[in-house]
Amino acid sequence: MDTSKSGGGSLSGGTLEKTEFAEVLRLAYRGRKNTQVLVSSKGEERSFWFHRGRLVSASSNREAQLVGELLRAFGLADESVLFSAFEKALSDPGRGLANALRDSGAVASYIADACVRALAEKVLYSTFQLSSGTFTLVPLEGPPDIPSAFDQTTATLLLEGLRRLPPVIGALPKIDPKVRPVLSSDLLLRYQYAIVTPEEAEALDAVDGTKTAADVSLDLRILERLKAAGFLSIASKANRPEEPAAPGGVTFLNVEIAGTPPSPRLSEALEQHARLVWNTYRRLDWINAYELLGVSENAQVADLRQAVHERARLFHPDNAARATLGDAGEALESLFTKVLEADRAFTTTASREEYDRSLNRGTMSAPVSYGQPTPEIQRQVAKANYQRARTLVEMEDYYPAYEMLRQAVEFDPERPEYWTFLAKVQGRNPKWIRHATETLRRAAARLPESIEVWLALADACASERNEVERIKALREVLKLDPTNKKATKTLAEIAATKPR
State the Rg of the chain over Cα.
31
In the prediction, which pLDDT does 230 show? 96
- How large is the average pLDDT for residues 304-321? 95
In the prediction, which pLDDT does 71 show? 58
* Whole-number percent of the chain with pLDDT over 90: 51
pLDDT confidence tier of residue 435, bands split at 50, 70 and 90: confident
| Mean pLDDT across the chain | 84
In the prediction, which pLDDT does 70 show? 55
Helices (H) and strands (E) in the chain, counts: 22, 9
Q: Which of 148-157, 173-182, 386-395 has the lowest mean pLDDT?
A: 386-395
Bridging pattern class, strands 44-51 and 35-41: antiparallel
Residue 136: strand pairing partners: 13, 38
Q: Which of 14-28, 245-259, 332-346 has the lowest mean pLDDT?
A: 245-259
In the prediction, which pLDDT does 10 show? 60
Cβ neighbours for 445, distance < 8 A, ≥ 6 positions apart: none
| Angle at which helices 154-163 and 21-31 cross, to 10° | 180
- How large is the average pLDDT for residues 158-175? 89
In the prediction, which pLDDT does 77 show? 52
* Residues 362-381 pLDDT 10s: 433 433 333 345 677 778 77
Q: The pTM is what?
A: 0.68
- If DSSP codes are grouped into helix, strand and coil, which group holds residue 232? strand
The helix (run of H) or strand (run of E) holding residue 484 is none
In the prediction, which pLDDT does 384 show? 83
In the prediction, which pLDDT does 297 show? 87
pLDDT above 80 (res 484): yes
Contact 230, 26 (CB under 8 A): yes
In the prediction, which pLDDT does 430 show? 78
Q: Which of 66-80, 138-152, 174-188, 274-288 has the lowest mean pLDDT?
A: 66-80
Contact 421, 405 (CB under 8 A): yes
- How large is the average pLDDT for residues 108-117? 72
The one-character DSSP state at 321 is G
How deeply is 471 buried, as exposed, middle or buried, from its count of CB atoms within 10 A (0-12, 13-18, 19+)?
A: middle
Closest by CA to 336, choosing from 364, 317, 355, is 317
Contact 290, 280 (CB under 8 A): no
pLDDT above 90 (res 228): yes
Buried b (16+ CB within 10 A) or exposed e, 243-268: eeebebebebbbbbbeeeeeeeeeee
Buried b (16+ CB within 10 A) or exposed e, 294-306: ebeeebeeeebbb
Residue 226 burial (CB count, 10 A): 27
* Structure-model confidence comparison of residues 498 and 264, the more confident one: 264
Q: Which of 54-63, 160-169, 373-382, 477-486 has the lowest mean pLDDT?
A: 373-382
- How large is the average pLDDT for residues 300-323? 94
The helix (run of H) or strand (run of E) holding residue 44 is strand 44-51
In the prediction, which pLDDT does 48 show? 95
In the prediction, which pLDDT does 64 show? 57
The one-character DSSP state at 175 is S
In the prediction, which pLDDT does 104 show? 61
Closest by CA to 158, choosing from 254, 228, 60, is 228
Closest by CA to 337, choosing from 365, 312, 318, 314, is 312
pLDDT above 60 (res 9): no
**Residue 370 is which amino acid?**
Y
